[in-house]
Amino acid sequence: MVEKKGKISTSLCRNGLRISYLRKKTIQKESSKVFKVHNNTVSREENEYKNKKKRKYRAREPIQN
């Protein structure tokens, strides 16, 4: 038996871990589609803040070859 969810098809067998792993993946993909609009604005601000910190740190670091 083969259970199809979107693009990923999982074989229903004794290997339960594999199935649950693939299901997690599909769930993550679906949830990311739903929350993409909200997450983009938040993550963009966070990334800008992190990048500013990284830039400051890099400037202080001496370059070693």
pLDDT tens for residues 30-56? 555 555 555 555 666 677 777 777 776
Separation CA 18–CA 12 (nearest Å): 9
Paired with 10 in beta bridges are 3
Look at residue 20 and tell me if it is in a domain.
yes
Domain span holding position 43: 2-60
Is residue 32 in a domain? yes
pTM exceeds cut of 0.95: no
Encoded amino acid at 55, one letter: R
The verdict on residue 45 lying in a domain is yes
14 pLDDT above the threshold of 70: no
Q: In the chain, how many domains are there?
A: 1
Q: Is residue 65 part of a domain?
A: no
Q: Which residue has the tokens 């993946």?
A: 25
